[in-house]
Structure 1
């Protein structure tokens, strides 16, 4: 093997190996954008805390903190505990709406599921808009990052 070929082999082999190792991760990062909503969020009325995270290839949110009196956890329309209730589902980044993610939200009092959008206009602030049909016909809430504690059975401190 000539001196030039040895140098090419010594140089190209590590470069090609790095390219093969990095390429799958780069493709993965492009195909599924990071979840900017990961973490705990306090609802606008300060009566609920949601844990938002990744569920497969979508973003979802569970109700993990509630304001309630006594020891009985609030129940949804079907009589199930609202503690850890999956309420935000199937959120995916929208390609045309400037950082908004589209998904669904459950109203535990009625059992109805509505279309929804979430976005973050600034750090530690989340906007959630639930609607029927078009986003124009909906209501927007402002949620903030939650740094507090949650007691047993999803109970929030007063």
Structure 2
């Protein structure tokens, strides 16, 4: 597909999107696409920020080696050695997002990837009230990747159950 055709399809898809978000519409708890973490997005001052609220694996397992087995998962790939021992649960990984009503996106943000210790530029768009698209990139937005998160409601977990339920069942 040519770049022009892709651009036209993207514009058409965006124009056909009937959902019009409010600035605070991203506030809430979001299950990441890999389903192994929940990120809580909150308004802090004039921006929106996200923190790791829950992880499926909050301690290292035997596959991580005997020196880590059973220990709390930390930010071990951080480029700053002084930050490598901080736990991932509770870590702020989204910062600087501000709503742009013209594009219906939250722009100007940064997302920290604890898997590689790098921080990327990002924007967020809602694909409906319960689906969020996060796009991270370096340089220009065209050269990046997106992930889709699903809104959830946190709850006290029952034995053998996860601590959340999807807000839109079946998605």
What TM-score does the superposition give when structure 1 sets the normalisation length? 0.69
Displacement after TM superposition at 1:142 (Å): 0.6
> C-alpha offsets along residues 85-124 of structure 1, whole Å, 9 cap, x if unaligned?
000001012354x211110000113321100010102120
CA contact (8 A) 2:49 2:92 kept: yes
Q: Distance in 2 between matches of 1:34 and 1:138?
A: 24
> Stretches of 4+ moved more than 4 A in 1?
none
**1:27-38 matches, cutoff 5 A:** 34-38=23-27
1 or 2, which has the higher helix percentage? 1
Query: 1:139 and 2:138 equivalent?
Result: no
Displacement after TM superposition at 1:34 (Å): 2.9
For residue 122 of structure 1, give the secondary structure of its aligned residue in structure 2: coil
Give unpaired runs (5+ residues) of structure 1: 1-32
CA contact (8 A) 2:137 2:145 kept: yes
> C-alpha offsets along residues 43-98 of structure 1, whole Å, 9 cap, x if unaligned?
000011000011111000000110115653311121210011000001012354x2
Query: Structure 2 vs 1, CA of residues 139 and 56 (structure 1 numbering), >3 Å: closer, same or farther?
Result: same
Q: Distance in 1 between matches of 2:104 and 2:71?
A: 39
Name the count of aligned residue pairs.
Answer: 121
Larger Rg: 1
Query: Structure 2 vs 1, CA of residues 115 and 95 (structure 1 numbering), >3 Å: closer, same or farther?
Result: same
Find the counterpart in structure 2 of residue 115 from structure 1.
Answer: 121
The worse-fitting range, judged by mean Cα deviation, of 78-87 and 66-75 is 66-75
Find the counterpart in structure 1 of residue 89 from structure 2.
Answer: 83
